[in-house]
Amino acid sequence: MTAIVRSELELGIATAARRVLPGGGFGNLASDIVIRAGRGGRVWDESGNEYVDFLLGSGPMLVGHAHPDVTEAVLAQVPLGTTFFANNRHGIRLAETIVEAVACAEQLRFVSSGTEADMYAIRLARAFRRRERILKFEGGYHGMSDPALMSLAPKQPGNFPLASPDSAGIPARVRDEVLVAPFNDLAAVEALIEAHHDELAGVIVEPLQRVIAPSPGFLEGLRRITAQYGIVLIFDEVVTGFRFAYGGAQEYYGVTPDLCTLGKVIGGGFPLAAIAGRADIMAHFDRARVGDDGFLMQIGTLSGNPVAAAAGLAALEILRRPGAYERIFATGRTLMTVLAELLAKHGIAGQVVGEPPMFDVVFSADPIVNYRDVLRGNAALAGRFNAKLRARGIMKGDTKYYVSLAHDDADIRHTIAAWDGALAELAAEDAATPR
Active site residues: 141, 236, 264
Q: How far apart are CA 15 and CA 53, in angstroms?
A: 24
The torsion angle over the Cα atoms of residues 70, 75, 80 and 85, rounded to 10 degrees, is 50
The torsion angle over the Cα atoms of residues 79, 101, 241 and 40, rounded to 10 degrees, is -50
Give CA angle at 268 (264, 274), nearest 5°.
45
Peptide bond connecting 161 to the previous residue in cis, omega within 30 degrees of 0: yes
DSSP conformational letter for 239: T
Return the exposure string of 237-256: e unless at least 16 CB atoms fall within 10 Å of the residue's CB, then b. Answer: bbbbbbbbbbbbbbbbbebb
Question: How many other CB atoms sit within 10 Å of the CB of residue 292?
Answer: 6
Beta bridge partners of 156: none
Q: How far apart are CA 402 and CA 54, in angstroms?
A: 5
CA distances from 301 to 54, 87, 110, 357 (A): 31, 12, 11, 32
Q: Per this entry, what is the length of the chain?
A: 435
DSSP conformational letter for 399: S
Question: How many other CB atoms sit within 10 Å of the CB of residue 434?
Answer: 3
Question: How many other CB atoms sit within 10 Å of the CB of residue 413?
Answer: 11
Q: How far apart are CA 254 and CA 416, in angstroms?
A: 33
Quick check: helix, strand or coil at residue 230?
coil
Q: How many CA atoms lie within 13 A of 228 on its CB side?
A: 10
Quick check: helix, strand or coil at residue 101?
helix
